[in-house]
């Protein structure tokens, strides 16, 4: 019987580049920025890394396909380096791969790194995605915001929420992340916006306005993992271990059957149940110290609060408007600004979320440090609500939860 | 109930695009250089949305004519038009696929003249061998600021032909050829080149047409005064009344030119008017249909008792009433490709079709055919390798075909996407929930001022999915549209 990976893997080094419109550097330099910080943090040398997973989603505008360009960029000579792509959940996927390599006993040190150079497309928003020769013949075009905007229609129909109430709760989600982003030196967007600005912004995909959408950024993030025994031998205090990493991927049930009403993200619910079971969490609302969730759009964060079983069904609107997820609320969410303001270089985001939890747990979060957090959750969502890749990681202080 | 075995028309239908442009808006846009257009500024003209063309109009007209009647017996399909999207790729084959006709159907495209539709109908009626479908479809383009741009429309008429339940028989037909060049459009040209209207009327309609109609009536043994419906489509006003007067046909017999809410829909217009006239005709009446273009075709038709028991799904009258008002002239100009707008880099995405894949999946994509799993009963689209229902996952070999194009459906989720490249922003997209359980993400088109809500009733329409501009290849698929425009 499988026992999961709880406390079998320790994170000993993490790095994160400055996110934003990095006109000054290319994808290789972004990778190096995150890599060097992680290596320094881990206190090991490049040659000690025995396996690496590299994530990127937009090959034409990044270093290129396969793992070779990343291996060249970081000079990872003669070790297995794998290229991973699983849409916006890629950053969590590379962490899972590296963690499994350590947990299996295959290697002592593994690297997980993700980077995206989105600002080399020449236009705003995410790059083109190709859906394969068959889907291309029938699936409508549609931007990522259009995929997530539909959650609002489904949510309103299910809960009878008025357009105005939902829009106001969504606006609070973005307002809060802008407040938090101001305290994050590496964040892409570091200015406050008013509720009026958010509510009055131009429409991107009804009802999502400009400020309901996250930043599209360049950036990279990395993690180096090992066993708790080695971490202890290296003298790590406040050791952060992985309590769980779980994924759930859509198989077409939402998009092809009547078993979904359009109001929630089914894959997030499935991944959350598995992640809480692996980590031994019974009541996330009271047990978790903080969360970094996939707020690609304000409506996604709103739905996620229910999909993670933190808010009751239909209760996220009130929790959000009550400030429960603000940095001084009951369960702070996106204390670093989230995708909304820290930015969203696709394959780096899952690792960026882990970076914030990791720093918060070790008391290294500077101005945005919360008091005595012991366990945090990352939620990283790829695809669209109805065909998604939900990745949930739970990280905690070793010996804690 | 008719017991004769005469071959004839057994059903009819029509389609006019929902989009209607105020002619006053067209005239106002050109006021600075063509103030004379003001005289044509009454009413509205129908125009194709960016994703409609002579193929999609044809499919909708045929669906109207076929209503719920079985399609398996249709042995041939003729598509007549002067504006078919493909020069070498049989357009009627695409129509046959969308209509779910049998693979054994004999398909044929005819065109190259405003008379193609009447000549084609005569040929199909005289062939009289097996149940047939004849569709006339056209979307003529007028150059900006021309009287064609403001006067033209778009539409399609469809007719089922056969020997059972014949609603109208061909009493006589005559044809004349004459190289009378009232207008022409050479290969590859975008617009027609027209000669002076007065000459076309005096030498063309008033002589060639009048003579041909006289000959046809004589052949049919019908007196001019006995004609109940006279159908002569012309790209400019007053022609039919003048011809009727000269022939001695009663003025009440002149069929509605559909000018008020459609406009001249090119080669299809006569047959669209015929379908409209048949909606109003009574059993035992005589109809005369005239086609004009490098000569003349005249068909003399007589309705039977069976006419009373046929009704198209909604008919030309229904299509006329289902209009959506527009007054932004540049929308028309853009949809007609008369101007090139800046669509941004998102419009640069490559849309290259894997023709191999298109062929492999045509069985489910052309006719919008879902699969019904025999193991669990789930109706699903697309049909993938295994049943979508968790715990069932039966192989596709267990699916029975279940076409979705006529299934009742409604909006489950929706949004208006302003970010994606789309020729008619916003791109309305959302999940369509079919009553019997199938669901899929679809584009929603012809959304009016009312917009969309969860639960808005929808029907399916065959449209251009997108266009590969680099290679000049349009692709077709089904979209959803609100029942109320």
The structural domains of chain A, with segments of one domain joined by +, span 10-124+218-233, 142-213+243-397
- Closest by CA to B173, choosing from B118, B246, B210, B132, is B118
Across the interface, whether the CB atoms of A386 and B442 are under 8 A apart is answered no
The residues near A294 (Cβ < 8 Å, ≥ 6 apart) are A88, A300, A301, A304, A339, A349, A379, A380, A381
DSSP A194: -
Across the interface, whether the CB atoms of A145 and B389 are under 8 A apart is answered no
Nearest by CB: B422 against A134, A139, A141: A141
Structure tokens at A357: 């939890």
Helix or strand or coil: residue B452? coil
Nearest by CB: A149 against B388, B415, B422: B415
Report the residue of chain A nearest B452, measured CA to CA.
A153
> Quick one: CATH architecture of A142-213+243-397?
3-Layer(aba) Sandwich (3.40)
Across the interface, whether the CB atoms of A251 and B427 are under 8 A apart is answered no
Q: Which of B363, B425, B441, B477 to mutate to test the interface with A (most CBs of A within 10 A)?
A: B441
Residues of A in contact with B355 (CB under 8 A): none
Q: Does domain B8-335 have CATH number 3.40.47.10?
A: yes
Helix or strand or coil: residue B127? helix
Across the interface, whether the CB atoms of A146 and B440 are under 8 A apart is answered no
The residues near B244 (Cβ < 8 Å, ≥ 6 apart) are B230, B250, B251, B253, B254
Q: Which residues of A are catalytic?
A: 88, 344
Dist. CA B309–CA B1, nearest whole Å: 9
Q: What is chain B's pLDDT, residue by residue, as a tens digit (485 residues)? A: 444 469 999 999 999 999 999 999 999 999 999 999 999 999 999 999 999 999 999 999 999 999 989 999 999 999 999 999 999 999 999 999 999 999 999 999 999 999 999 999 999 999 888 999 999 999 999 999 999 999 999 999 999 999 999 999 999 999 999 999 999 999 999 999 999 999 999 999 999 999 999 999 999 999 999 999 999 999 989 999 999 999 999 999 999 999 999 999 999 999 999 999 999 999 999 999 999 999 999 999 999 999 999 999 999 999 999 999 999 999 999 999 999 999 999 999 889 999 999 999 999 999 999 999 999 999 999 999 999 999 999 999 999 999 999 999 999 999 999 999 999 999 999 999 999 999 999 999 999 988 999 999 999 999 999 999 999 999 999 999 999 87
Dist. CA A270–CA A23, nearest whole Å: 39
Dist. CA A78–CA A47, nearest whole Å: 10
List the beta bridge partners of residue A392.
A246, A379
* A221 within 8 A of A36, measured Cβ to Cβ: no
Across the interface, whether the CB atoms of B440 and A255 are under 8 A apart is answered yes
Q: Which of A61, A140, A297 to mutate to test the interface with B (most CBs of B within 10 A)?
A: A140
pLDDT of residue B3: 45
The residues near B153 (Cβ < 8 Å, ≥ 6 apart) are B16, B45, B46, B47, B258, B262, B263, B264, B265, B269
* A63 within 8 A of A69, measured Cβ to Cβ: yes
Domain ranges, ordered by start, for chain B:
8-335, 349-368+404-482
Q: Does domain B349-368+404-482 have CATH number 2.40.50?
A: yes
Across the interface, whether the CB atoms of B441 and A145 are under 8 A apart is answered no
- Whats the size of chain B, residue-wise? 485
ipTM for the assembly: 0.94
Residues of A in contact with B414 (CB under 8 A): 150, 153
List the beta bridge partners of residue A51.
A110
Dist. CA B314–CA B318, nearest whole Å: 5
Residues of B in contact with A251 (CB under 8 A): 388, 390
Residues of A in contact with B363 (CB under 8 A): none
Structure tokens at B471: 């290679």
- Closest by CA to A379, choosing from A340, A328, A338, A341, is A338
DSSP A108: S
For the segment(s) A10-124+218-233, the CATH number from 3.40.50.2300, 3.40.47.10, 3.90.79.10, 3.40.50.20 is 3.40.47.10
């Amino acid at each position: 019987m499988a026992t999961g990976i709880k406390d079998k893997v320790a994170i000993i080094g993490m790095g994160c580049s400055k996110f934003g419109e990095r006109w000054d550097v290319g994808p290789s330099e972004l990778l190096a920025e995150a890599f060097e910080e992680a290596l320094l943090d881990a206190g090991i040398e490049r040659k000690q890394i025995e396996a690496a997973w590299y994530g990127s989603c937009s090959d034409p505008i990044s270093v290129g396909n396969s793992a070779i360009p990343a291996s060249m960029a970081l000079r990872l000579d003669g070790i297995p380096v794998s290229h991973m792509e699983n849409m916006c959940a890629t950053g969590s996927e590379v962490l899972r791969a590296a963690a499994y390599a350590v947990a299996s006993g295959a290697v002592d040190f593994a690297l997980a790194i993700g980077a995206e150079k989105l600002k080399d497309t020449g236009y705003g928003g995410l790059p083109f995605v190709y859906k394969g020769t068959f889907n291309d013949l029938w699936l409508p075009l549609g931007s990522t915001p259009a995929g997530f905007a539909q959650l609002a229609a489904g949510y309103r129909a299910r809960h009878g929420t008025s357009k105005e109430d939902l829009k106001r709760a969504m606006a609070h989600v973005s307002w809060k992340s802008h407040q938090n982003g101001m305290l994050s030196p590496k964040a892409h967007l570091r200015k406050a916006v008013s509720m009026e600005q958010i509510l009055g912004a131009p429409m991107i995909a009804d009802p999502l306005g400009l400020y309901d959408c996250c930043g599209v950024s360049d950036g990279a993030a990395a993690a180096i993992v090992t066993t708790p025994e080695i971490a202890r031998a290296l003298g790590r205090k406040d050791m952060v271990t992985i309590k769980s990493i779980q994924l759930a991927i859509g198989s077409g049930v939402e998009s092809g059957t009547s078993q979904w009403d359009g109001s929630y993200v089914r894959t997030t619910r499935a991944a959350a149940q598995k992640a809480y079971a692996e980590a031994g969490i019974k009541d996330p609302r009271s047990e978790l110290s903080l969360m970094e969730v996939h707020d690609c759009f304000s409506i996604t964060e709103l739905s996620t609060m229910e999909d993670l079983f933190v808010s009751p069904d239909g209760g996220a609107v009130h929790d959000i408007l009550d400030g429960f997820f603000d940095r001084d609320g009951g369960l702070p969410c996106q204390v670093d600004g989230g995708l909304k303001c820290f930015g969203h270089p696709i394959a780096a985001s899952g690792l960026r979320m882990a970076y914030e939890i990791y720093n918060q747990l070790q008391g290294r979060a500077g101005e945005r440090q919360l008091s005595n957090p012991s366990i945090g959750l990352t939620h990283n969502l790829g695809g669209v609500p109805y065909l998604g890749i939900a990745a949930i990681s739970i990280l905690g202080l070793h010996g804690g939860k | 109930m008719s017991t004769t075995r005469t071959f004839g028309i057994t059903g009819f239908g029509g389609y006019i695009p929902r989009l209607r442009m105020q002619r006053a808006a067209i005239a106002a846009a050109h006021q600075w250089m063509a103030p004379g257009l003001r005289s044509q500024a009454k009413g509205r003209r129908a125009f194709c949305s960016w994703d409609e063309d002579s193929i999609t109009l044809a499919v909708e007209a045929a669906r109207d004519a076929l209503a719920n009647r079985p399609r398996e017996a249709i042995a041939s399909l003729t598509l007549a038009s002067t504006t078919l999207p493909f020069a070498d790729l049989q357009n009627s084959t695409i129509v046959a696929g969308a209509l779910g006709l049998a693979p054994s159907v004999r398909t044929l495209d005819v065109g190259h003249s405003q008379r193609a539709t009447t000549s084609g109908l005569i040929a199909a009626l005289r062939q009289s061998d097996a149940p047939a479908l004849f569709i006339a479809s056209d979307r003529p383009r007028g150059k900006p600021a021309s009287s064609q741009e403001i006067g033209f429309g778009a539409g399609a008429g469809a007719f089922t032909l056969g020997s059972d339940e014949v609603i109208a028989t061909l009493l006589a037909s005559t044809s004349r050829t004459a190289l009378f060049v009232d207008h022409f459009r050479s290969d590859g040209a975008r617009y027609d080149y027209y000669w002076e209207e007065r000459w076309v009327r005096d030498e063309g309609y008033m002589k060639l047409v009048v003579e041909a109609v006289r000959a046809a009536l004589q052949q049919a043994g019908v007196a001019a005064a006995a004609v109940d419906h006279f159908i002569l489509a012309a790209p400019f006003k007053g022609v039919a009344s003048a011809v009727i007067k000269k022939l001695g046909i009663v003025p009440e017999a002149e069929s509605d030119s559909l000018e008020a809410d459609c406009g001249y829909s090119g080669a299809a217009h006569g047959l669209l008017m015929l379908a409209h006239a048949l909606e109003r005709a009574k059993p035992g009446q005589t109809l005369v249909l005239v086609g004009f273009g490098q000569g003349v075709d005249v068909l003399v038709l007589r309705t039977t008792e069976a006419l009373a028991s046929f009704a198209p799904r909604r008919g030309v009258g229904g299509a006329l009433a289902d209009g959506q008002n527009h007054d932004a002239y540049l929308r028309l100009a853009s949809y007609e490709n008369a101007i090139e707008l800046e669509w941004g880099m998102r419009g640069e995405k490559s849309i290259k079709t894997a023709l191999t894949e298109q062929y492999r999946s045509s069985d489910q994509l052309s006719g919008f055919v879902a699969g019904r799993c025999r193991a669990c009963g789930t109706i699903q689209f697309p049909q993938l390798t295994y049943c979508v229902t968790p715990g069932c996952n039966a192989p596709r070999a267990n699916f029975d075909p279940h076409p979705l194009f006529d299934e009742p459906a409604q909006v489950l989720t929706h949004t208006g996407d302003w970010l994606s490249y789309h020729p008619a922003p916003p791109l309305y997209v959302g999940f369509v929930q079919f009553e019997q359980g199938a669901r899929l993400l679809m584009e929603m088109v012809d959304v009016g001022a009312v917009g969309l809500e969860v639960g808005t009733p929808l029907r399916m329409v065959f449209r251009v999915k997108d266009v590969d501009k680099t290679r000049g290849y349009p692709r077709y698929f089904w979209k959803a549209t609100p029942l109320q425009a």
